[in-house]
Amino acid sequence: TTAVESFKFEAEVQQVLHLVIHSLYSNRDIFLRELISNASDACDKLRFEALSDATLYGEQGELKIRISADSENKTLTVSDTGIGMSREELIENLGTIARSGTRKFIEQLSATQKADANLIGQFGVGFYSAFIVADKVTVETRRAGSDQGWRWVSDGAGEFTLEPAAGLSRGTCITLHLKSDAEDYLQPWKLRGLINTWSDHIAFPIELPVLKEGKPTDEFEVANQAAALWTRPKAEISDEEYQAFYKHVGHDFNDALAWTHNRVEGNQNFTSLLFLPSKAPFDFTYNRDERKGLKLYVKRVFIMDAAEQMLPNYLRFVRGVVDSDDLPLNVSRELLQNNRQLDKLKSALTRRVLDLLDKVANDDAAKYAEFWAQFGALLKEGVTEDHGNRERIAKLLRFASTKSEKPDQLTSLDEYIGRMPASQEEIFYLTADSWNAARHSPQLEGLKARSVEVLLLHERIDEWMIGYLHEYAGKSLKNIAKGELDLDKLGEPKDKEQREKLKQEAADTVKRFKDLLGDKVKEVRVSDRLTESAACLVLEDQDMALHMQRLLKAAGH
Ligand code: ADP
Ligand code: MG
């Protein structure tokens, strides 16, 4: 007597299913990538847990993935000898959406109705992609260390059933009952083609049936290299393989923008393979606290996702793997918190990422612009966070300026300095709460008249960031709205006598203004700043920018 229980999918799961099935039809192949990715993760997890309890392997010591097709029953099976799932894990992992960020993202997608494949790919479609090609999915699984197996069945329409299953081997076996328009996945050549393009980077053997005269037999053979990608020599790895690997570790659907792959030997011994995504993953906005996608391995054994421990917060967009030869295999999260070796690793990795960004910026300005549009704000955080690398990060910053016609025509500080006339000693900038407000600011008039370029800082974070960036390349950064501005040095000096005369003539007017404004201002003075406007507000050097004052006031300070 076996009790079959029915469960309803969480509402959000139904939404995900709907979006995935309807938006990814033309990217159907990805279901196989996702299932293999999960099988590989499951093998990694078992190998890690078995470090402290070798009995978890039981009789099956081999970690592997097997794929087979049954053309009579029109089923495709992906099985692994990984960690498996308990009953609770099945319900939790394949019936709910664990990450709260995903939930908000889905709500937003469903609301706008503009869900295209790229957007959906941002959260990594995962297991549910099976329903793109299958009208029924059976998951049979037995967790390592448990005697009890479970069978999970669903047609992806809102419910799943769960029942105990006897005689299962350790790990997970997923059977897809293919839709009639997806039967080409039964073709041996089709499967082989997909595995060949996608799975060489998977570190565990993937087995496919041996073919005899084009027909599958009962024997299996390994179809991939089954060596961890990062352990292989760079020259032997194609861009396609790097991209496939990126999608696996980065849980991303889009290609990576660039990567850096290095082996370090000496004081520390480690290999790193770090990727820059081309698109910000959705949880950048919705899941600030959770950082995923940078995996720590020790001697080829996956230990944990350890992005927080291995890179500073402002580089949280980086994805990839770090494989250390020096850390102990039994490292725990606690141990990672205060580990000097890890601190050194962290600064080495930070340098690698900054090197990579430098390289992209130098080699391919268009590509760097893409990066900047997605992650520029994070580098600005870096200026405030990473004292030691401040100058390097500043080199990577991009700003709008009075020399550009559009807000996205951006300049680097080096380019700005390259255009500075010999008489100019400081880097001038102006902060405002929008690009338009910045470029129409009366503060600019005097400088414009003298053709002096000014950087226009109009993003919210800029005011905060610039507080940490007092100089670059030996030149100080000067807010043109603060303190005295000596314009004479910069352009045609005006006749000194004439100006004194002007000041005298204006003395009465200035006094009237001062009387009128009273305590509202500290001082009223005749200014060189303006050419058209009648008056502008100027702050003392140490004052807070006006729009910041407005912001704080609005926030109730
Ligand atoms: P992700 O892989 O990003 O976590 P998925 O939707 O692909 O998301 O999978 C959801 C969860 O289901 C996984 O995190 C894992 O816990 C579990 N899972 C999926 N496939 C397997 C498998 N083959 N073996 C063990 N657990 C699995
Ligand atoms: Mg997955």
- In 3-state terms, the chain is what percent helix, strand and coil (to 5)? 45, 20, 35
Type of residue found at 496: K
What confidence score (pLDDT) does residue 529 get?
66
Give the Cα separation of 160 and 7 in Å (integer): 5
What confidence score (pLDDT) does residue 283 get?
59
What confidence score (pLDDT) does residue 358 get?
98
* Residues in contact with ligand 1 (CB, 6 Å cut-off): 34, 38-39, 41-42, 80, 82-85, 93-94, 124, 126-127, 172, 251
Of 174-183, 258-267, 528-537, which range is least confident?
Answer: 528-537
pTM for the full predicted model:
0.80
CA-derived radius of gyration, the chain: 30
What confidence score (pLDDT) does residue 16 get?
83
What confidence score (pLDDT) does residue 510 get?
77
Q: Which one of the ligands is nearest to 37 CA?
A: 2
Q: Is 32 exposed, middle or buried (0-12, 13-18, 19+ CB in 10 A)?
A: buried
Q: Which atom of ligand 1 is nearest to the CA of 128?
A: 6
Q: Which atom of ligand 1 is nearest to the CA of 78?
A: 23
Residue 477's pLDDT band (boundaries 50, 70, 90)? very high
Give the strand pairing for 75-80 and 171-178: antiparallel
Residue 264's SS3 state is strand
What confidence score (pLDDT) does residue 290 get?
62
Angle at 114 between CA 12 and CA 131, to 5 degrees: 45
Q: How far is the CA of 107 from the centre of ligand 2 (A)?
A: 21
Percent of the chain whose predicted confidence (pLDDT) is above 70: 87
pLDDT in tens, 21-35: 887 777 888 899 889
Mean pLDDT value across residues 391-411: 94
Q: Is the pLDDT of residue 451 over 80?
A: yes
Nearest to 69 by CA among 283, 220, 290, 287: 220
Q: How far is the CA of 548 from the centre of ligand 2 (A)?
A: 43
pLDDT in tens, 201-215: 899 999 999 999 988
Nearest to 275 by CA among 259, 292, 257: 259
- C-beta separation of 15 from 105 below 8 A: no
Residue 514's pLDDT band (boundaries 50, 70, 90)? confident
Q: What is the rounded average pLDDT for all residues in the chain? A: 87
Give the Cα separation of 487 and 478 in Å (integer): 13
Residue 279's pLDDT band (boundaries 50, 70, 90)? confident
- Pocket test of ligand 1: the residue of 16, 24, 40, 41 to mutate, having most ligand atoms within 8 Å of its CB, is 41
ipTM confidence score: 0.99
Q: Is the pLDDT of residue 293 over 90?
A: no
Residues whose Cβ atom is located within 5 A of ion ligand 2: 37-38, 126
SS in 3 state form for 494-519?
Answer: CCHHHHHHHHHHHHHHHHHHHHHHHH
Mean pLDDT value across residues 148-159: 96
